[in-house]
Structure 1
């Protein structure tokens, strides 16, 4: 049999979508308590004249419907084919109360094509007509047992007087229409704080349900925002409250449509790093050693950048002039001029270049460092430095604070995905009582110059001399460490970051 010729339209983010005209594309939510309840269609599909026949609808009763005008405008002769007894209503008329007292039918393809139009309507269906109780000073954080920042944020919010509920982000992201309404019946939090869109589905239904219920929703983009946005398939993120660890993305995000973006750097947790941790078996003998801790690639990197190659010309430039400038994400954006940054995956080509440049920078730094102990994965074993000792990874909470305290000096080399984004090392090392030297990342401007200048290097061949300068426990080193620690604990803990969040959101 020949394949049916489905109507194609352009969805709300500019992608082509097919709109099948079959009864199987409709989802009925029958009102079991009111047989004579009115029928409301959320979308009628591209052939509205066939709907009465498909569902044996009476022609002498009003059938209510809502439809996306963007959809209507793209389907030829849609309005002339509308049955006479079908009456269009506004989204404001489709309240939670009216949704609960109707037979509601959803045309699913248009829901996915225009989630900004239909998401609030679906949210009103799922939430029901009962008034939801408010939870007093409560924050929900979607996370998992292995995620960083969950523990730190939870502790900081509790210290600020908030109750914190940690929610499995996987279930929320997969089934927001089922999971969220169920737990919202127990109460609506003041804030739902997502890190890197965790707990929020691709089409923004979870975000819309939370907003419809009256919760504030904030998204902290800890990693590269545009890499993260490749998974988002709806416009909702442009209206969300966004925080970024790298202030240089504020302008590009606003130029792409974001309405609200605030800088929120990483920080440290005094409770977890000041006295925590113990040395693992492979972590001894660091008293006079230079130490680096980090992985050679982020998880699933090859999958994320699958099929992409880094242009040879740019690779050659970087190899020949490794420290002439920072070959970061913005540099690659200028080089490759990939448009648009969103929607779609085109921006991943820029991300692939920045990822390669970051790995190359760290490689050059570790090869120039001389004798160094590396706690990380086997990807570091290919370094051209026979004095580099790769000892294997360590646990972030159980071991890292003790390693930072024990090492003579800890080395930081920043990646290129976040041009001015700092790492946890910039905060955790000092909190734990360690001593850090770091490359010249623009994000260091949040710290006083008199603290940054003595511990910063601009070229890889400066690392060895800088380490030797601070290898011994001199009075200068002790005073610098104390000043850094005071700065971090006063202004750069997660308690400070939570205060910024609460103030920015007027909570």
Structure 2
């Protein structure tokens, strides 16, 4: 999730950077003339999506196209050569109104790509659906005047503004109806309840392995982890670490990531354990065996080809939100009702803003309540179906990628008008 590559050399080799810098210093260079056109002014918007294989790309790009806009995907993931040169070549012909990235993927840590686009007055929209603080790690080089940040969880707004991002907007996740309608599940007999998800064992171990732990540091991290895993209302690990006096130093964000993923592992394990004790199954990676011990563990399910059908087949789908999200709801809150399945999710602040909780969504606040709710809903198929129908209608009305694309374009049009004058 975090920017791990030292991407300056990947974004542009030295010769390309030198040539671009030289052209940008000239008042009337061919490069500047190629990008000198009104942005976001026409009814049809042209969007360059920095393509890194992230799971949101396909659904969001399809939503842009279905809304009548044009999309050009630019490979910008690991192994993609010279992103800056490719973007300038594509942009001079395609004339983009904006460049879209998810989680700042495709951008370099040093802000080279963002700086060039800023000089050319090309707007950048960055939609964060993972912790921006763990991605950026306190670096502000990408906080240019042409950047608008869209957050799925507004708990991060103060941190982003502190880094220098002036335009910060709320943009929650949504459903891809094309994906939700499909799916074919390989099993004939669904379990009475299911939890689908990663154990987080590998991410937690990976982040913990980057840190030289001392006894005092480990004790502080343990206290924060415990508060994260059991706390309500939820908080960000970064804030809790600062309360422990650990708010300085290069390792701060490594510690925050390690604590967040270990706490998420423990929290998810508690939820998955209840599902198993209620006769349900866990679908996920082998790490669950180490975390839970004996459990009805079934193989991972393909997100597009199988998961929607599983959601429809299982009577009670259970959801546990990552602890990087103090208030937001995750992808499953939209995907399950969109697919026609019943979801029992942990209670989050944003759930009540996005759905009519109780009528369009069902929620629990503790492991004990989850146990009761699973039994209650398993014995009441009519009540489950009522919530499924209401939730699906709400998603179709307000929470598709088409809705999010329209919001993003509206905000970017406003941004361009402000810049123009």
User: How many residues get paired?
Assistant: 389
Select the residue among 269, 286, 289 that pairs with 1:378: 286
| CA 332–319 in structure 1, closer or farther in 2 if over 3 Å, else same | closer
Who is 1:165 aligned against?
72
- Once the two structures are TM-superposed, the CA of residue 205 in structure 1 deviates from its matched residue by 2.1
Deviations 1:30-66 (A, max 9, x none): 99xxxxxxxxx97xxxxxxxxxxxxxxxxxxxxxxxx
Q: Which runs of 4+ in 1 moved over 4 A?
A: 26-31, 128-136, 171-174, 298-305, 316-322
| CA 238–294 in structure 1, closer or farther in 2 if over 3 Å, else same | farther
Who is 1:399 aligned against?
306
Who is 1:95 aligned against?
27
- Once the two structures are TM-superposed, the CA of residue 462 in structure 1 deviates from its matched residue by 2.0
- Aligned pairs for 1:412-423 (under 5 A) are 412-423=319-330
1:464 aligns with 2:371: yes
Deviations 1:72-101 (A, max 9, x none): xxxxxxxxxxxxxxxxxxx9973243xx7x
1:289 aligns with 2:192: yes
| CA 453–491 in structure 1, closer or farther in 2 if over 3 Å, else same | closer
Unmatched 5+ stretches in structure 2? 1-13, 415-421
Say whether the 8 Å CA contact 2:357–2:363 is kept in structure 1.
no
Say whether the 8 Å CA contact 1:141–1:167 is kept in structure 2.
yes
- Aligned pairs for 1:22-171 (under 5 A) are 94-97=26-29, 127=31, 137-144=45-52, 146-170=53-77
CA RMSD of aligned residues (A): 3.4
Provide the TM-score with structure 1 as the length reference.
Answer: 0.68
Describe the SS at the equivalent of 1:360.
helix
Who is 1:73 aligned against?
none
Say whether the 8 Å CA contact 1:338–1:350 is kept in structure 2.
no
| CA 473–184 in structure 1, closer or farther in 2 if over 3 Å, else same | same
Unmatched 5+ stretches in structure 1? 1-25, 32-40, 43-90, 101-126
1:493 aligns with 2:400: yes
CA distance in 1, matches of 2:47, 2:35: 20
CA distance in 2, matches of 1:304, 1:360: 15
Provide the TM-score with structure 2 as the length reference.
Answer: 0.81
1:339 aligns with 2:247: yes
| CA 385–366 in structure 1, closer or farther in 2 if over 3 Å, else same | farther
- Once the two structures are TM-superposed, the CA of residue 179 in structure 1 deviates from its matched residue by 2.0
- Once the two structures are TM-superposed, the CA of residue 357 in structure 1 deviates from its matched residue by 1.1
Say whether the 8 Å CA contact 1:362–1:413 is kept in structure 2.
yes
Who is 1:361 aligned against?
267
Deviations 1:453-484 (A, max 9, x none): 97211111222221111114532221121111
Say whether the 8 Å CA contact 1:239–1:258 is kept in structure 2.
no
Describe the SS at the equivalent of 1:366.
helix
Say whether the 8 Å CA contact 1:329–1:351 is kept in structure 2.
no
| CA 161–30 in structure 1, closer or farther in 2 if over 3 Å, else same | closer
- Once the two structures are TM-superposed, the CA of residue 129 in structure 1 deviates from its matched residue by 5.8
- Highest relative contact order (Cα 8 Å, sep 6+), 1 or 2? 2
| CA 353–300 in structure 1, closer or farther in 2 if over 3 Å, else same | closer
Structure number with higher helix proportion:
2
Deviations 1:338-385 (A, max 9, x none): 4359xx552231222122111111111212231221111011112446
| CA 93–439 in structure 1, closer or farther in 2 if over 3 Å, else same | closer
Deviates more, 1:435-444 or 1:346-355: 346-355
Who is 2:333 aligned against?
426
CA distance in 1, matches of 2:138, 2:162: 19
| CA 29–462 in structure 1, closer or farther in 2 if over 3 Å, else same | closer
- Once the two structures are TM-superposed, the CA of residue 428 in structure 1 deviates from its matched residue by 0.1
CA distance in 2, matches of 1:197, 1:289: 40
CA distance in 2, matches of 1:266, 1:28: 37
Say whether the 8 Å CA contact 2:138–2:163 is kept in structure 1.
no
CA distance in 2, matches of 1:159, 1:373: 37
Who is 2:255 aligned against?
349
| CA 316–235 in structure 1, closer or farther in 2 if over 3 Å, else same | closer
Say whether the 8 Å CA contact 1:156–1:495 is kept in structure 2.
yes
1:242 aligns with 2:149: yes
CA distance in 2, matches of 1:143, 1:493: 21
